[in-house]
Chain A
Amino acid sequence: DAMVIQNPRYQVTQFGKPVTLSCSQTLNHNVMYWYQQKSSQAPKLLFHYYDKDFNNEADTPDNFQSRRPNTSFCFLDIRSPGLGDAAMYLCATSRGTRTDEQFFGPGTRLTVL
C-alpha cells in the first residue's frame, strides 16, 4: 500500500560527486514536491511540479535540479554536493488545491563525506 516511495532510503556520496534521488507515487497526483530537511527543522521547499510545469523556489541553489519524466516519477539531482547539503530529502505529492493535504514519502537521508 506504499503511496509515495523514495529510493534509496540512505545515500552516501563524496564531496562534489553527483547524486540522484528518486521518488515515485501510486496516487496519480498532479503535484510533486521536493523538500530539504535538516535536524528537526521544518522542511524547506526546493521546487515542485504541477504535471510537467516546473516551479523553482527563489532561494533554491542552482546545484539542485529536478526531472519529472512522467506522472509517477520525479528525481532530484544534486550536481556537486557540498557538506552543507547533507540532510533528509523528502518527496511529497498532492492534488494541488488549497484543501488537499500533501502525502510524504519516508525520505532519503543524504550523507556527504
Chain B
Amino acid sequence: GNSVTQMEGPVTLSEEAFLTINCTYTATGYPSLFWYVQYPGEGLQLLLKATKADDKGSNKGFEATYRKETTSFHLEKGSVQVSDSAVYFCALSVQYAGGTSYGKLTFGQGTILTVHP
C-alpha cells in the first residue's frame, strides 16, 4: 500500500533559522508528491509539488526535491519567519496502471512548526 512518514514534531525554531522537515514515502505506482500547509483555523493550501523523479518544487522560499532513490521529499527553507508557523503535511498521489485514483491523497501525520521572534 501507499504511505507517507514525516519527521515527528513539534518543531520550534528561532526566526531566520534553517528548516528541514523530513518526508519519506512508499508507493505502488507512479506517485506525485506534495507539501501542503495549514494555518490555524484554515483549510490546507498547496505549498509545492513535484510530479516526477528529480523534479524540484519551490514556493515562498520553500523547496523540496523528489528523490526516487531514497523515496524522499524533504521540505527545506533557508530562513524561516514567524509567519511560517503552521502545520505542514507531506502527501502523495498515485496513478495506477490502467486505472485512476481520482487524485486521492495519502497524507503524512503532519509536523507542527512554531517560529519564535
Residue from A43, A95, A98, A100 in contact with B107 in the complex, judged by beta carbons closer than 8 Å: A43
Interface assignment of A68: CB less than 8 Å from any CB of chain B: no
Per-position binary interface string of chain A over residues 50-71, scored 1 when its CB falls under 8 Å from any chain B CB and 0 otherwise: 1000010000000000000000
Q: Are B51 and A101 in contact (CB under 8 A)?
A: no
Count residues of A near B (Cβ-Cβ below 8 Å).
29
Q: Would you call A42 and B103 a contact (CB within 8 A)?
A: no
A32 to B49, alpha carbons, bound, how many Å? 20
Q: Which of chain B's residues has its CB closest to A9's CB?
A: B41
**Nearest-CB distance from A112 to chain B (Å)?**
19
Contact with B along A8-35 (1 / 0, CB 8 A): 0000000000000000000000010100
**Is A90 touching B34 in the complex (CB atoms < 8 A)?**
no
**Contact status of A96 and B43, CB under 8 A, knowing A40-B110, A42-B108:** no
Q: Are B109 and A98 touching (Cβ within 8 A)?
A: no
- B104, chain A: closest CB distance, angstroms: 7
Q: 1/0 per residue A67-99: CB within 8 Å of B?
A: 000000000000000000000001010111111
A20 to chain B, nearest CB (A): 19
Q: Are A43 and B44 in contact (CB under 8 A)?
A: yes
Contact: B103 with A95, CB < 8 Å? yes
Cβ of A106: which chain B residues have Cβ within 8 Å of it? 42-43
Top 5 A-B pairs, shortest CB-CB distance = A98-B95, A104-B43, A42-B107, A94-B103, A99-B51
